[in-house]
Structure 1
Amino acid sequence: MVLVIVVAVLALLAGLAANRWLRPRLVSADDDEGMAVKDLVGPLLTLTVLLLAFVLVTANGSYGKAEVASRGEARALDQLVETAEYAPALQRARIQADAVCYARAVRVQEWPAMSEAEGSPAPSVWSTDFRAAFKTLQGEPVFGMLVAADNKRSDEREERLTQATASIPSAIFWFLLATLTITVMALGICLPRKNNRGQILTLAVITALLTTTLCIIRDVDRPFGGIINVEPTAIAEAERQAERDFTQNHPAADLPCDEAGNRRAV
């Protein structure tokens, strides 16, 4: 984001400098001959705005999918905890405890890792323990419901991790940055050399708007890091409810994990 701002400001200064020293050499005495530089700026600005709008919609779609996947994973985990109520006491305690530890591992360890487009192996420890508990319930009526809820949780987690990576390739981002730079410089060249305070102010506003749009694209395209990010609110609520159910059903039992979702030493 800092790079975008720095390059945009440099482009603005370069455009103003070119207007001062380069434009007199480019513009002939008769401006009506051929197409002037200012005649090309309108289509260039339109192209820049359309490209930014298109990419912004794409990035926003990725952000929306990440948020939906995060909520879907929390709902699936909550359904898993509720379905475990129909299991025998031993398996019910194990599944509900694993759900609390899974939610903690996601919230504390995997969420920060996703800001770098990476995952964490910590939640997989507890999802593996889910399946180990399910094996002891084969043939029971609750077995199919537990497997279905766990499959839903797994699918939503995979989608969440997928959306943690940037959906816009780096080449496209650099192309947008180059287009913004050329547009701002072209606008600067076309400014009048005298009595141009209003035009300079307008150019500065346009530069700020285009730069802000590109910064928003960069930020939204990484939904788990930056200023505009998806918070682990849903998984934290699922953790709270799972811990409540576990405590009510097994008040004398301890969770097999610490506050970060790591397995305790036996």
Structure 2
Amino acid sequence: MPLIVYTLPNWVLGLALVALWLVAAQALCALFPDRWRERVTDLDRSVVLASLGVIATMNSLLLAFSAVSAWEAFGSADTAVQREGTAITQLARSLSLYDTAPSRLARERLRAYGRSVVTQEWPAMLQDKPSLSTRDALDGLFTALGDLKPTTSSQTALLNQAWTQANDLLTHRRERLQASKAKVPRTLWIVVLAGSLLTLVPLAAAPKGASSRCALFAVAAALALVFHFVATMDRPFLGSERVTPEAIEDALGIVQRLSARTP
């Protein structure tokens, strides 16, 4: 979906899609002249209904696959952000227990990385652009960890734990960046759109009547709602139902409190 779609409120996008599909249904009705409908036989109706069943089944499977894929991508993005926030918190606690001047510097570098994620990398990520400043902040964190020289067995254990947590942080950041690029492929959008329009064709070609028109518009509205769901979940970090950096902001609050307790 175009990025401009995700600037609309969720309800506006939903109403726009429903209206668009109703207009499409009405346009399909106009393709079949009344004189053609008058010559429809019972055999033609049977063929239309059979075709409708086959097309609707195939398109329903495609729509279900698209919806599940979008939902899984959204869940993966949210999980990656939550885990990154957890990794920041765990690393901050390990560094606070280490409690030396170099470890306090490493903790400040960790806080600088978190702030850079929220203020620099997050906006860049929404535009599919890299954030060099955040990458530099992460490199600075690893450099500060490399400067830690344990002098006791407890510090050695804490440093090993800190390195594990730092590597976890790196992994979760990579997962978040990968999840930000997740979207329904263009080819699948085209196939699902074509299949949905074909689902409406048999109903649009049916003889005019209140029941046939109600069925046509009901199916069109249902297709619009499914498209709305897929579009909303398509880009996890965009739109009204987006994944936010709240977990990382909460982790930064914990880092701040730990820093305030350090003399």
Q: 2:45, 2:60 → 1: CA distance?
A: 26
3-state SS of the aligned residue for 1:212?
A: helix
Alpha-carbon distance change, 88 to 244 in structure 1, aligned in 2, over 3 angstroms? closer
Distance 1:56 1:15, change over 3 A: same
Partners in 1 of 2:137 and 2:53 — Cα distance?
Answer: 58
Corresponding position of 1:113: 124
Q: Which residue of 1 aligns with 2:220?
A: 207
User: 2:136 matched to 1:128?
Assistant: no
CA contact (8 A) 1:70 1:234 kept: yes
Q: Is the 8 A contact 2:232 2:241 kept in 1?
A: yes
Higher helix proportion (structure 1 or 2): 2
1:106–1:122 Cα contact (<8 Å) kept: no
CA distance 1:166–1:199, change in 2 (3 Å): same
Cα distance, 1:138 vs structure 2: 4.4
Q: How many residues align?
A: 245
Instruction: State the partner residue of 1:62.
Output: 73
Distance 1:109 1:197, change over 3 A: farther
Distance 1:201 1:29, change over 3 A: closer
TM-score by length of 1: 0.82
> Deviations along 1:39-76, whole A, 9 cap, x unmatched?
31121112111210111111111111111111000000
The residue type equivalent to 1:105 in the other structure is: S
Q: CA deviation at 1:220?
A: 0.7
In the alignment, residue 166 of structure 1 is paired with which amino acid? Answer: A
Q: Name structure 1 gaps, 5 residues minimum.
A: 251-266
**Structure 2: runs of 5 or more not aligned:** 6-12
Structure 1, 166-175 or 65-74: larger mean CA deviation: 166-175
- Matching residue of 1:47: 58
Structure 2: distance between partners of 1:236 and 1:33: 62
Using a 3 Å threshold, how does the CA distance of structure 1 residues 29 and 185 change in structure 2: closer, same or farther? closer
Matches within 5 A, 1:27-38: 28=39, 30-32=41-43, 36-38=47-49
The answer on whether the counterparts of 2:37 and 2:205 sit within 8 Å (CA) in structure 1 is no
- Assess if the C-alpha contact under 8 Å between 1:96 and 1:245 holds in 2: no
Letter in 2 for 1:232: P
Shift of 1:153: 0.4
Measure the CA separation in 2 of the matches of 1:4 and 1:174.
16
For 1:94, which of 105, 116, 120 is the aligned residue?
105
Secondary structure, counterpart of 1:211 in structure 2: helix
The correspondence of residues 1-266 of structure 1 with structure 2, limited to 5 A, is 1=5, 8-19=21-32, 21=33, 24-25=35-36, 28=39, 30-32=41-43, 36-138=47-149, 141=156, 142-190=158-206, 192-193=207-208, 196-250=209-263
Which amino acid in 1 is paired with 2:179? Q
Q: Provide the aligned C-alpha RMSD in A.
A: 2.4
Alignment CA distance shift 1:166-1:83 (3 Å): same
Q: CA deviation at 1:146?
A: 1.4
The change in CA–CA distance for 1:159 and 1:90 in structure 2 (over 3 A counts) is same
Letter matched to residue 156 of structure 1: H
Instruction: State how far apart, in whole Å, the 2-side matches of 1:129 and 1:43 are.
Output: 59
Aligned-pair CA distance for 1:118: 3.6
